A and B are shown apart, each in its own frame.
Chain A
Amino acid sequence: MTTTIETSRRRFLVGSALAAGGFALGFHVPFLAGAEAAAETAAELNAWVVIRPDETVVIRIARVEMGQGTLTGLAQLVAEELDCDWSKVTTEYPTPGQNVARNRVWGNFQTAGSRGIRDSQDYVRKGGAAARMMLVQAAADEWGVAASECTAAGGVITHAASSRSTTYGKVAAAAAKLEPPKDIPLKDPKDWKIAGQPLPRLDTAEKLDGRQVYSIDVKLPGMLNAAVRACPVFGGKLKSFDAASVEGMPGVRKVVAVDDTGVAVIADTWWRAKTALDALPVEWDLGPNAGHSSAEFAKVLREGLEADEAFVGSQAGDVRAAVAGAAKVVEAVYGVPHQHHATMEPMNATALFTGDRCEVWTATQNAEAALATASTAAGLPIPQCEVHRLHLGGGFGRRSTSHDFVRQAVLIAKQTPGTPVKLIWSREEDMLHGRYHPVTMCKLTGALDAQGNVVGLHMRISGQSILVSVNPQGLQNGRDPATFQGLNPSGAEGVFGYTIPNLLIDHAMRNPPVPPGFWRGVNNNQNALYLESFVDEMAHAAGHDALEFRRRMLVNHPKHLAVLDAVAEAGGWGKPAAEGVFRGLAQHMGFGSYVAACAEVSVSREGKLKIHRIVAATDCGHVVNPQQVRAQIEGSFAYGLSAALFGEITVKDGKVEQENFDSYPVMLMEDMPAVESIVMPSGEFWGGVGEPTIFVAAPAVLNAIFAATGKRIRTLPLSKANLRSA
């Protein structure tokens, strides 16, 4: 299994079919001379499709696979239009350097925001369709007939009138020389045969026997390994370190500063690098944030709940007048703490710097950003740098928010020119230097009339902005639009479903010195939790059924209503549950999709919570692979409920207190409820599926807990709440 990777490769074509040799995508495999020879004669029909003489169809994938199934889904879309033989399909990643060199022919590499399929479906399908048209034309030209008389299916082109047929592999070379078509019609999704089907993933087998090479597994000739430690206090600096005290330790080659914030040990193996790093005396200048704590952040956020100044996200009518004239006013304050991504594969990157060139091998959700980071760190222009992608051992937004690990790897490799270095973060380093789910609180004030109708709602969000830190160009006059995810009055991304005559949703931005990041689901998670829990509170205060109460306010948004109705029906809402079992509902729209959940829980007298079952519905418009949509729904519950049950990053003395899974517990098998998913695509639009179900996970469970106990949990994590019967 130990095989090295030749780094001087500049050729393009090695796909996952060659991964059987022990390789990830995009690497030259020196000993597979036959395969390489085949690649020489492969025909590139366009950026997306390459066909080899042996009929293998190589589909290029611009987005990255991190578990969400995009590799398979995107290949299905191309293969559908290509009308190829699915069993002959293999995939490969183009590199960001190739994308730059070819005027970004593959478009956006960023894999975030549940956009992998919905944002690229149009052009990847056209890539498949254009390739098919060229293949058919090439066959028609060879036969001297009109292309319109020929048909293609399963990689075979047929001219029925003359009973002739040929294959894609045979005409690919001629087809590749043809002018690409300009008008490229796409199939109606109702005619799909490959897309839309619950096909098995393309990447499963190599994940079952250790063959899959992740970034952390990369091995290059002569490679050294590095362990790093950055100042544990955000914003702190490296003051000094005593390299001499560890330089004689086994395997240690070099101890180096990394920027002015960290120090790394380079050794023959990672374990020896880490052992020496642990023994290395380091002095830090802890900087201005050393006095900060989560308790202090909470005070600042609470002040924001009452502040006069706030950015307005959505406004209708006069909410203050509605509250003043209400028959009943409901008020509550909620809070969601910082959370860590905790990808299973810790941050890592391998870099080779040779003076005039820098190459990086890493797991990234945005290879173009990783390339820019490498270029800056190397001090070399982008054409002299390259990033090789590997499947991710989890991303969840961490690997799109920041490429700090790539920067570190390059800075370290610059100190060993000509020798590649693999940098791996320990779990502790990973947890102390996350890009955390932002901390927010929310005060909700609801105005009910005498009949219990909601006549006014004020949602005041107070807390951290992601964009201020990650992408300040995205701010609008200082306002962070991402803060209002799922709460906007219009837009394809996520619409507030309830019709409330007097509405104000605003944000008092308060930014504690803890780096925030995009975290699977992003601001939709806490916004849905705040809103859907509070809608339940208002229903209870009005004495109304939680389903009917929502239905009345969703009257203008039939798609929101449809998913809610679906889970209510399948979840048995309004019908008796098993002894001691109680239900809760939630609905939300985000990343272009409509989701709802009905959770069933029980809480023992001693306060032990069990989440028995969740029925979930998703309307994502078009479904490319229903099996993968279901997998994403299940996974979203694991991620969202893990956060609700256990997730909390706290800061003390400017440093994160949790360093590993013993102090940052996550959901295990025993905590996972049964999930019944209803995939109900209504067509006509393309919504994402990697994140949306997370939005409804926590509020559905919290509402069920209220039904079970009468206790309204408004602050996460649940592990800190006392659910014991009074």
Chain B
Amino acid sequence: MTRLTVNGTEHDIDVDGDTPLLWVVREQLGLTGTKFGCGIGQCGACTVHVDGAAVRSCALPVSAIEAEQKIVTIEGLSPDLSHPIQKAWLALDVPQCGYCQSGQIMAAAALLRETPKPTDEDINAGMQNICRCGTYNRIRAAIKLAAESPQAQRG
């Protein structure tokens, strides 16, 4: 049994220890907002927060996570699209196909938590997630918009 704390709830999960967190979240917990894109930590579609840090869950075996570590997925970022990043994404109509956006949003939320007023270089360094539709410029603008929010540093 593996104990994980996801979006504030503890789960005891019967799973092979080398299973990546991504597949536990998607298949055992049914939280499918976190996406599979590459399986090798390259594309960032699977980004979640572990203790507030952006982590690529496709390359992280659950055995490497302690029960008390706080995992947050896109479904747990806010209950009502109220996170400043989500609000900015909505205001600028960022997504196209949307498949990478859960990961983009989680990466952006972690970036703002660490760097409340990111420069373009900070955004380039912090946002290494692939988007094939090409929403990069809107993502950049939305991060800057969110950075103006008083709640920008919210996890």
Do chains A and B interact in one complex? Answer: yes
Enumerate chain A interface residues (CB-CB to B < 8 A): 1-2, 65-69, 200-201, 203-205, 207-214, 216-217, 219, 225, 250, 269-272, 275, 342-346, 391-396, 424, 426-428, 627, 631, 634-639, 642, 660-662, 666-670, 672, 674-675
B71–chain A nearest beta-carbon distance, Å: 14
| Chain B residues within an 8 Å CB radius of A201 | 93, 95
Residue B138 is within 8 A (CB to CB) of chain A in the complex: yes
Nearest chain B CB to A600 CB, angstrom units: 15
Contacts of B28 in A (CB 8 A): 269
Q: Least Cβ distance of B56 to chain A in Å?
A: 12
User: Given B32, B78, B96, B140, which contacts A213 in the complex, CB threshold below 8 Å?
Assistant: B32
Q: Which residue of B lies closest to A635 (CB)?
A: B134
Closest to B102 in A: A210
Beta-carbon contact of B93 and A200 below 8 Å? yes
Q: A209-B86, A427-B38 are in contact. Are A635 and B31 (CB under 8 A)?
A: no
Q: Which of B97-150 contact A (CB under 8 A)?
A: 97-102, 105, 123-125, 127-140
Contacting pair B132 A269 (CB below 8 A):
no
**Smallest CB–CB gap between A197 and chain B, Å?**
13
* B8 beta carbon closer than 8 Å to chain A: no
Instruction: Please tell me if the beta carbons of A208 and B81 are within 8 angstroms of each other in the complex.
Output: yes
Does the CB pair A675–B137 fall under 8 Å? Answer: yes
Tell me if A210 and B96 are in contact (CB < 8 A): no
Whole-angstrom distance from the CB of A518 to the nearest CB of chain B? 16
Which residues on the B side are within 8 Å of A345 (C-beta)?
35, 37, 97, 99
Q: List chain B residues, Cβ under 8 A from A214.
A: 32, 35, 99
Nearest chain A CB to B92's CB is how many angstroms away?
9
Nearest-Cβ distance from residue A513 to partner chain B, whole angstroms: 27
Q: How far is B100's CA from A343's CA once the two chains are assembled, in angstroms?
A: 10
Cβ of B99 and Cβ of A393 under 8 Å apart? yes
Q: Point out the residues of chain B lying under 8 angstroms from A638, CB to CB.
A: 131-136
B33 in contact with A394 (CB, 8 Å): no
Q: A270-B27, A346-B36 are in contact. Are A661 and B137 (CB under 8 A)?
A: no
Task: Name which of A211, A344, A635 has the most chain B CB atoms within 10 A of its CB.
Answer: A344
Q: Is the CB of A270 within 8 A of B98?
A: no
Instruction: With CB as the reference atom, state the residue of chain B lying closest to A424.
Output: B36
Distance (whole angstroms) from the CB of B27 to the closest CB of chain A: 4
Interface centre among B37, B124, B134, B135 (most CB of A within 10 A): B134
Interface string of B63-100 (1 = CB under 8 A from A): 00000000001110110010000100110011111111
Give A343's nearest chain B residue, CB to CB. Answer: B132
A669 touches B124 (CB 8 A): yes
User: With A and B bound together, what is the CA distance between A511 and B42 in angstroms?
Assistant: 33
* A669 with B89, Cβ < 8 A, contacts A344-B100, A675-B137 known: no
Residue on A nearest B77 in the bound complex, by CB: A209
- Tell me the minimal C-beta distance from A219 to chain B in angstroms: 7
B38: A residues at CB distance < 8 A: 427, 660-661
Are B97 and A67 in contact, with the CB atoms below 8 A? yes
**B88 to chain A: closest residue by CB:** A208
| Minimal beta-carbon separation of A295 from chain B (angstroms) | 27
Sample of 5 further A-B pairs with CB below 8 A, known A1-B33, A208-B86, A668-B124: A66-B97, A345-B99, A391-B98, A660-B40, A668-B130
User: Quick check: B132 and A342 within 8 Å, CB to CB?
Assistant: yes
Tell me the nearest residue of chain B to A268, going by C-beta. Answer: B27
CB distance from A598 to the nearest CB of B (A): 17
Partner of A634, one of B26, B36, B130, B134: B134
Given A208-B105, A210-B73, A668-B128, are A427 and B134 neighbors across the interface (CB < 8 Å)?
no
Cβ contacts under 8 Å, B134 to chain A: 634-639, 667, 672
* A207-B29 contact given A271-B19, A396-B132, A672-B134, CB 8 Å threshold: no
Asked if B136 and A205 make an inter-chain contact with CB atoms under 8 angstroms apart, the answer reads: no
Q: When the two chains form their complex, are residues A219 and B140 in contact, meaning their CB atoms are under 8 A apart?
A: no
Interface size, B (range):
35 or more
Residue contact B95 to A393, C-beta cutoff 8 Å: no
Separation in Å of the B144 CB from the closest CB of chain A?
Answer: 13
Complex contacts, B19 vs chain A, CB 8 Å: 271
**Assembled-state Cα–Cα distance A428/B33 (Å):** 22
Please tell me if the beta carbons of B136 and A219 are within 8 angstroms of each other in the complex: no
Are B137's CB and A207's CB within 8 A? no
Query: A69–B135 Cα gap in the complex (Å)?
Result: 13
A/B interface sample: 10 pairs, CB < 8 A? A204-B95, A208-B105, A216-B35, A270-B23, A271-B23, A271-B27, A272-B16, A638-B133, A642-B132, A668-B127
CB distance from B149 to the nearest CB of A (A): 15
CB-based nearest B residue for A673:
B137
Which residues of chain B have C-beta atoms less than 8 A from A391's C-beta?
A: 97-98
What residue of chain A has the Cβ atom nearest to residue B86's Cβ? A208
Q: Does B52 contact A (CB under 8 A)?
A: no
CA separation between A668 and B44, bound complex, in Å?
A: 11
Cα(A346)–Cα(B40), bound, Å: 14
Q: Which one of B86, B99, B123, B130 contacts A666 once the chains associate, using CB atoms below 8 Å?
A: B130
- When A69-B96, A672-B134 are in contact, do A427 and B37 touch as well, CB less than 8 Å? yes
Cα distance A393–B100 in the bound complex, in angstroms: 8
Give Cα distance in the complex from A71 to B147, angstroms.
Answer: 31
Which of the listed residues B100, B135, B137 has the most CB atoms from chain A within 10 Å of its own CB? Answer: B137
Given A208-B86, A661-B130 in contact, is the A344-B35 Cβ separation under 8 Å?
yes
User: Which residues does chain A contribute within 8 Å of B127, judged by CB atoms?
Assistant: 668-669
Q: CB distance B34 to A204 under 8 Å?
A: no
Please give me the residue from chain A that is nearest to B45 by CB atom: A344
Q: Are A210 and B138 in contact (CB under 8 A)?
A: no
- Among A217, A634, A662, A674, the residue within 8 A (CB) of B42 is A662
Name the B residues within 8 Å of A672 (CB-CB).
134, 136-137, 140
Contacts A1-B30, A208-B81, A344-B97 given; does A271 touch B20 at CB 8 Å: yes
- Contact across chains for B33 and A393 when beta carbons are under 8 A apart: no
How distant is B152 from chain A, measured CB to nearest CB, in Å?
17
Known: A271-B20, A344-B35, A344-B97. A427 touches B40 (CB 8 A): yes
Give the distance to chain A from B6, nearest Cβ to Cβ, in Å. 11
CB distance from A113 to the nearest CB of B (A): 18
Across-interface contacts of A637 in B (CB, < 8 A)? 134
A-side contacts of B125, CB under 8 Å: 670
Measured between beta carbons, the chain B residues less than 8 angstroms from A65 are 97
Q: Complex formed: what's the CA distance from A697 to B136 in Å?
A: 16
Is there an interface contact between A67 and B16, defined as CB atoms closer than 8 Å? Answer: no
- Counting chain B CB atoms within 10 Å of each CB, which of A209, A270, A667 scores highest? A209
Which residue of the partner chain B has the closest CB to A638?
A: B134
CB-defined contacts of B100 to chain A, threshold 8 Å:
344
Is the Cβ of A219 less than 8 Å from the Cβ of B98? no
Q: A697 to B138: give the CA distance in the assembly, Å.
A: 19
Asked if residues A67 and B96 are in contact (CB atoms below 8 Å), the reply is yes
Residues B96 and A269 in contact, CB atoms below 8 Å apart = no
* Docked-complex contact A639 and B132, CB < 8 angstroms: yes
- A205 and B81: CB pair below 8 A? yes
Which of the listed residues B40, B93, B124 has the most CB atoms from chain A within 10 Å of its own CB? B93
Residues of A within 8 A of B101 (CB): 207-208
A197, B132: Cα distance in complex, Å: 26
- Are A208 and B35 closer than 8 Å at their CB atoms? no
Closest to A674 in B: B137
B4 beta carbon closer than 8 Å to chain A: no
Is the CB–CB distance between B136 and A669 below 8 Å? yes
User: From residue B59, how far is it (CB to closest CB) to chain A in Å?
Assistant: 12
Nearest chain B residue, comparing its CB with the CB of A22: B32
B43 at the interface (CB under 8 A from A): yes
Docked-complex contact B74 and A209, CB < 8 angstroms: yes
